[in-house]
Structure 1
């Protein structure tokens, strides 16, 4: 037989409802205890007053008669004394106790023989008041224990209070159950939405979103869930686009290679040094693309352990510019440097050298002959800002915003004819991000493109 296991709603309901029942039980027990003790004290105080009055009255009568013969088995006389008490109460004597006797009482003589009272033994644990005449105890007035009255539920008022108390407990329990059920459902409604959303998200539905209607912890959790779902959806779309772009970029050189080889095989084209050179060019393009894809995967932050240390970035930049100077000169391009003497950062020299090489290669490849590249740098608020500004041709604003997208190449002069794969600036962006910096693109004052790199400095510099 399968046991019923409550869900989170049932558990929360049982927890709150059990707490309410415990509070009700404690309150009921406390009220009953307080009532019984207070009621007993109330009756005991009234009986003590009546015993004192009755003792004084009987003492006066004993002094007049000299013995107890006037009272022995004379219930009528006792009734008259009690009536006189009630007459005084009707006159609103503030010293008199409340109406009526709550307990049984006896009057005994000096030998403890009952003079007035119910049949049966006189209780030994009852409340007693001595009847004193001329300094001598001639008898006692004895009342039955007050506790026995409440314990045996001999008072209708006590029974009524018990019944009312239990009715209140029952009604409170029903009210607590209804309130707890509504509260549990209200509190767990956002949790259920999150659970359902998580299931859909785990099933691959990245368009899933949950409503966030509150500003508490659950509302913030729903906002974080929506942000996570949005990030997963974006990454999913980017991954699909990325794979489609890779497939497209690899297909082009492979198609050319296949066409060239089939042409040679069919005899349409002769196997000459020129055809071999054409094939080698396409292989080089394919190799460059595969290498760039590999570098892109390595440049992602967390893809490999960056070997960071304190280094002078100016020295690295000067070495990279010196290595490209001859290639720039061969195309009629000039490189100018406007840098501080020394700037120390915490970074990976190999990855930073790769960054500079890609930026220099980008300017070399896409700048018209006779142009220039200005590399400037300055320190501003614990950050080193480098700018690579080249000359024409430039790009429009829409192209400028997409320069760092993978496989993106601008139309016009800065296009695929220059031999680029469209991954160089994406690699640069990953390297800069891994160093805690930012990479931006803008219009150069020389008519080309300006790439700005910001890297944090070592704090104690």
Structure 2
């Protein structure tokens, strides 16, 4: 059985929608509880006000009659008093204001006196069955005398915890008006009203949930659109399509992630191209000496050329070319991986440079090249590997020796500035263009003209120099020479500016 596995869009949609539903339900219950409690409090305040009005009115009636005989078995009188409260409330509500308690009491007393005069002329009608209907009251109430004898009210025990209002006449308590406590809704109208509010609240929750779903789905799709583009781009990148790019339409975290993705894809594409070029260059570099060796051997084998010491020297020269190329590749691969052993000690680079220049002096003189040093009495001590630094200087001097026309010159300068030792290797013509300067440190790269394969170089010397300088925490770059050739500038941190980590 295959189960449905939601994607990230569906998960985000469900997460947001679930959160909205939970919040709506919590708000619904909070509003419902607040409404019920507020409604009950409203009923309590209304009952307390009516208790006060009723106690004041009964106090005035007691003062007129002198005892409670007028109220015993006279439920009609209580009914008329309550009805007078209703008429006063309705009348005041129509006028837009609430009645004063004194005015209500006076009107109730006038109505009661009118009722009493009418009762003198005719037989009093039988009282209505059961307790009088107290409109606006949500609880049962009783009127008791000073002996707690029930005068008016339903049968049953008078609750001790009910609300009481004393009936005071001439600063003497002659009775009480008692109402049962309001703990829940009991009247049908109140219950129906609460049910209607509950249904309306649930209807609002349902409509709000529907609106939340309609708004959440496009929101989730819009938020995850950049993520989907990144996912598709990652699939293409994993399949080997390094030319893929994603659009960056925002400045937030997803936008920065998209830019980093494009940078990664560009780097992978560049590395892939460099790897292809590197393999092509290696095969090309190996093909030439191998072709020469094969031609020489076939010529000797076919008798076209005799096996003489001169032919052996020619073969050895091609083998030497292959050996040097393989050694350079080995040195370059180890320097790329950091596998070259660096035994760092404090070393005087100027002294090391003088030794390297002295070793090349005769070779420069044999090609009618002038090698000069302008060290300005500089003492540059760095924390580095003297063997690797000597390899660096030998490669740079070999580069100038091979790629400088006869009768030219090479000048080496050494200065210190800002805690760095700066070495400049400047040679004479031929020069290179600005575009070629930026590619001199690429592997197997050679410029046109005299700086080509005919000079015997593999095109790896400057790439190895770059790795050695960077391993010492320095920098190397190329520029135009004042003598018409190329200037290679090496910057190495002095001993006090570099941490000694072996």
TM-score, scaled to structure 1? 0.90
* 1-structure distance, mates of 2:395, 2:470: 15
Q: Which residues of 2 match residues 216-231 of structure 1 at below 5 A?
A: 216-231=252-267
Contact 1:437 1:455 in 2 (8 A): yes
Paired position in structure 2 for 1:250 = 286
* 2-structure distance, mates of 1:231, 1:256: 38
Deviates more, 1:3-12 or 1:378-387: 3-12
Paired position in structure 1 for 2:250 = 214
Please state whether the residue corresponding to 1:408 is helix, strand or coil. coil
Paired position in structure 1 for 2:455 = 418
* 2-structure distance, mates of 1:276, 1:230: 49
Going from structure 1 to structure 2, the CA distance change for 1:348 and 1:16 (only over 3 Å counts) comes to farther
What per-residue deviation string (whole Å, max 9, x for no partner) do you get for residues 79-119 of structure 1? 2212332344335455449x833433333445555443456
Are residues 1:324 and 2:360 paired? yes
* 2-structure distance, mates of 1:414, 1:238: 22
Q: How far off is 1:150 after superposition? A: 6.3
Are residues 1:431 and 2:455 paired? no
Paired position in structure 1 for 2:221 = 185
Paired position in structure 1 for 2:388 = 351
Going from structure 1 to structure 2, the CA distance change for 1:216 and 1:398 (only over 3 Å counts) comes to closer
Q: How far off is 1:358 after superposition? A: 0.6
Q: How far off is 1:235 after superposition? A: 0.3
* 2-structure distance, mates of 1:230, 1:374: 40
Paired position in structure 2 for 1:162 = 198
Deviates more, 1:391-400 or 1:330-339: 391-400
Paired position in structure 2 for 1:237 = 273
CA RMSD of aligned residues (A): 2.7
Deviates more, 1:272-281 or 1:6-15: 6-15
Q: How far off is 1:5 after superposition? A: 4.2
Are residues 1:262 and 2:327 paired? no
Contact 1:300 1:434 in 2 (8 A): no
Q: Which runs of 4+ in 1 moved over 6 A?
A: 150-153
TM-score, scaled to structure 2? 0.83
Contact 1:409 1:416 in 2 (8 A): yes
Unaligned runs of 5+ in 1: none
Q: Which residues of 2 match residues 59-138 of structure 1 at below 5 A?
A: 59-89=59-89, 90-91=91-92, 92=97, 94-96=99-101, 100-110=136-146, 112=148, 114-118=150-154, 122-134=158-170, 136-138=172-174
Q: How far off is 1:236 after superposition? A: 0.3
Please state whether the residue corresponding to 1:238 is helix, strand or coil. helix
Are residues 1:386 and 2:384 paired? no
* 1-structure distance, mates of 2:497, 2:448: 45
Unaligned runs of 5+ in 2: 105-134
* 2-structure distance, mates of 1:321, 1:112: 127
Paired position in structure 2 for 1:23 = 23
Going from structure 1 to structure 2, the CA distance change for 1:285 and 1:93 (only over 3 Å counts) comes to closer
Q: How far off is 1:121 after superposition? A: 5.5
Contact 1:311 1:346 in 2 (8 A): yes
Please state whether the residue corresponding to 1:404 is helix, strand or coil. coil
Going from structure 1 to structure 2, the CA distance change for 1:380 and 1:331 (only over 3 Å counts) comes to same
* 2-structure distance, mates of 1:105, 1:5: 64
* 1-structure distance, mates of 2:485, 2:184: 107
Number of residue pairs matched? 460
Q: How far off is 1:64 after superposition? A: 2.9
* 2-structure distance, mates of 1:215, 1:305: 45
Going from structure 1 to structure 2, the CA distance change for 1:169 and 1:305 (only over 3 Å counts) comes to farther
Contact 1:336 1:373 in 2 (8 A): yes
Please state whether the residue corresponding to 1:72 is helix, strand or coil. coil
Paired position in structure 2 for 1:300 = 336
Paired position in structure 2 for 1:43 = 43
Contact 2:167 2:174 in 1 (8 A): yes
Q: How far off is 1:133 after superposition? A: 3.9
Contact 2:143 2:151 in 1 (8 A): yes
Please state whether the residue corresponding to 2:185 is helix, strand or coil. helix
